[in-house]
Chain A
Amino acid sequence: MNDFIQRFTKRNVVKDFVKLGPDYFIVSSFQKKLIEKDPFSLGLFLGKRTKRFKPSINLLNMISRYTINKVVVDKRQEWLFVCGRDLFRSKLLHIKGESPYKLVLNQNNEVLGYGMLKGKLFKNLFDIGDFLRRERD
């Protein structure tokens, strides 16, 4: 998870977390005591490691407070992005920061996911449309 965060910022975004199987969580002191009771999930879900780390939208929102590596999109690109599509670099309203990895924000400053600049394209690596796609799977 920390390797993932470092793509966006060197700051210590998540100070303390617990791992339940492949899942990462931030937990309260009350929730910490419940770990031995074999919970399905608890606290704030940060992401999951299978082959690669897949962040939660919660983690991306946390990173967003610490990073300048962001792109901003208009309403049309917002919709395309949450439908899982890659975007054209030329269609992005703003591109900020040096890292090729960028959080994607709409014009209300809300995080929609993240992706990577690659030539003329901005590759979609995760977007909030995933909530609907997960339900279908």
Chain B
Amino acid sequence: MNFFFERYRNLGENPSQVAVPITIRANTLKNSKQKLITRLKKRNIKVKEIDYLDYGLQTSSKFSIGSTVEYLLGLYYIQSAAAQVPVQVLFQDSKPAKQILDMCAAPGGKTTQIAQYTKSPIVALDIKKSRLDALKNNLERLNISNVSVFNMLGQDVSELKLKFDRILLDAPCSGNFVADKRWFDKRSLSGIKKQARLQLELLESAYTVLDKGGVLVYSTCSLEPEENEHNIAKFLESHPDMGLENIPLSIGSPSPVKLLDVNTELKKCIRFWPWKTNTEGFFVARMIKR
């Protein structure tokens, strides 16, 4: 633990363990957020809106939030608050999306969230077939029809011969200690660097299928710079036509560019430090192809 906490301290933080609340996302394809709140309150579930999220609700109940009739009816999806941010950032502008790619989609939390923002075609990829079954179940439960799912590596996306004007790359990452109590025992710097190389490959693949003027959102639930700012810095260096965009959220901290010794432009990326946001750790960058 000390090694990683020491790194966070070197980035100007005062890290501590946190217990994050249980959060859900109202499925507005089946009901409004307000109607869902009313229904859940009738079930004696405490519900509070999350002010920085479009569809997010904080819940508290004596029973599992995954064992209600409303859940089975697809009126909501269980999703951490920070995990709801990348899709919201992908659609932060009002420009209509034509064709959207979710590169590492299973089990479908973010894919199904994308469907709440657009009726346009969504292509979802993942390599793990068992997780694709979960994605398919979620698409059925949430009544979503505009998603096409492929069992393939994100790195092979160009084989589909399609172009996209919005891409979400929620990259596989080393995770963080909030969601996994044994995270500190399992992780090493060499493992994190290996993960970072894979993420950079995925970024390169996303670039090849992104239309000019298209938006690419890169996110991870990792707090490690190798998987976040360092990857974005390398990617931008090799693609001068890609530029970072501001993320106007009322929560999250700008990347500590000076302490990380990266381009000041990377201040536009945001970090969710768990001890500050009371969420899982997260990193989000929004880029546009000029």
- Beyond A31-B148, A37-B150, A106-B69, whether A57 also contacts B140 by CB under 8 A is yes
Bound complex: CA A128 to CA B67 (Å) = 11
Contacts between chains A and B (CB distance < 8 A), count: 71
**Contact pick for B73, options A79, A128, A134, A135, CB 8 Å:** A128
**Contact pick for A82, options B72, B141, B143, B145, CB 8 Å:** B72
Bound complex: CA A34 to CA B160 (Å) = 9
Q: Is the CB of A56 within 8 A of B140?
A: yes
The answer to whether B149 has its CB under 8 Å from any CB of chain A is: yes
The answer to whether B210 has its CB under 8 Å from any CB of chain A is: no
**Which of A9-17, A39-47, A91-99, A114-122 forms contacts with chain B?**
A39-47
- Beyond A40-B136, A45-B139, A58-B143, whether A128 also contacts B149 by CB under 8 A is no
Q: Which B residues lie within 8 Å of A40 (CB)?
A: 129, 132, 136, 149-151
Q: Which B residues lie within 8 Å of A56 (CB)?
A: 140
Range of interface residues on B (Cβ < 8 Å): 20 to 34
Interface residues of B in 120-157 (CB under 8 A from A): 121, 123, 129, 132-134, 136-137, 139-141, 143-151
Q: Is the CB of A28 within 8 A of B121?
A: yes
Query: Which residue on chain A has the smallest CB distance to residue B39?
Result: A108
- Beyond A37-B160, A82-B69, A131-B72, whether A43 also contacts B140 by CB under 8 A is no
Q: Is the CB of A41 within 8 A of B121?
A: no
Bound complex: CA A112 to CA B74 (Å) = 11
**Contact pick for B149, options A39, A44, A129, CB 8 Å:** A39
Interface centre among B66, B73, B129, B132 (most CB of A within 10 A): B73
A-B contact pairs, 21 of them (CB 8 A): A26-B145, A28-B121, A28-B145, A28-B146, A31-B148, A34-B123, A39-B148, A40-B132, A41-B139, A42-B147, A42-B148, A43-B145, A44-B145, A45-B136, A57-B74, A58-B140, A79-B69, A128-B73, A128-B141, A131-B141, A134-B137
- Given A28-B121, A34-B160, A82-B69, 13 new contacts (CB under 8 A): A31-B121, A34-B148, A39-B148, A41-B136, A43-B145, A44-B144, A57-B143, A58-B140, A58-B143, A78-B69, A110-B73, A131-B140, A132-B72
Closest 10 CB pairs of A and B: A44-B145, A42-B148, A128-B72, A40-B149, A40-B151, A41-B149, A30-B121, A45-B140, A41-B136, A34-B148
Q: Which B residues contact A (CB, under 8 angstroms)? A: 66-67, 69, 72-74, 121, 123, 129, 132-134, 136-137, 139-141, 143-151, 160
